[in-house]
């Protein structure tokens, strides 16, 4: 049985829109999922080839949206919401605690490739601030004091 290639799947997306450029967002999402959670030069070329656009066009779209990653992320992605509800409940202290615990600045990835730390806009859990998404799973009511335990738990996880 033949398996659809990336190109074939992008053609299916492309068929849903009158203009192939309109399929760039779902095609980039697909590429990011297939390329280990980020968009490499190769990923941009594949999307561009499949949609008959340029890699530069794809990059211009991807670089605008926070959901696209232009650098290889760590094995664990830690995203601290820094929007208003979380900010008033101590998000900045949570961010600082992660920076201290991981030896990283926000936006960075640890040298061993284990952790990426970033801040994000509201992720829909305002009533349970501060919200931290760890590998896309939300942790609620996180306080700075919880951070060492979260990091320890993640360090214990086997790759």
Show contacts with ligand FES in window 106-145 (CB under 6 A): 122-126, 129, 131
Is 81 a binding residue for ligand FES by CB under 6 A? The answer is: yes
Q: ∠ CA 123-125-129 to the nearest 5 degrees?
A: 110
Please provide the DSSP assignment of 116-129 as one string: EEEEES--S-GGGP
- Separation between Cα atoms, residue 36 and residue 28, nearest integer Å: 12
Residue closer to ligand FES, measured from CB, 81 or 147: 81
In terms of Cα–Cα distance, which of 76, 90, 79, 103 is closest to 142? 90
For position 83 contacting ligand FES by CB under 6 A, the verdict is yes
47 or 142, CB closer to ligand FES? 142
92 binds ligand FES (CB under 6 A): no
43: contact with ligand FES by CB under 6 A: no
Q: Does 77 bind ligand FES (CB under 6 A)?
A: no
Closest-CA residue to 39 (of 72, 6, 67): 72
Binding residues for ligand FES, rule: CB under 6 A, are 81, 83-86, 122-126, 129, 131
């Amino acid at each position: 049985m033949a398996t659809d290639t990336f190109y074939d799947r992008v053609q299916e997306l492309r068929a849903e829109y009158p203009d192939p450029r309109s399929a760039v967002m779902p095609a980039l999402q697909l590429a990011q999922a297939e390329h280990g959670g980020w968009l490499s030069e190769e990923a941009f070329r594949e999307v561009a080839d499949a949609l008959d656009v340029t890699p530069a066009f794809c990059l211009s779209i991807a670089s605008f949206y926070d959901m696209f990653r232009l650098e290889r992320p760590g094995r664990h992605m830690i995203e601290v919401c820094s929007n208003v509800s979380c900010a008033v409940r101590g998000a900045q202290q949570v961010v600082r605690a992660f920076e201290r615990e991981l030896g990283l600045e926000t936006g960075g990835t640890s040298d061993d490739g284990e952790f990426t730390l970033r801040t994000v806009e509201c992720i829909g859990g305002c009533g349970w601030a501060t919200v931290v998404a760890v590998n896309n799973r939300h942790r609620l009511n996180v306080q700075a004091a919880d951070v060492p335990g979260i990091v320890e738990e993640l360090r214990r996880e086997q790759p």
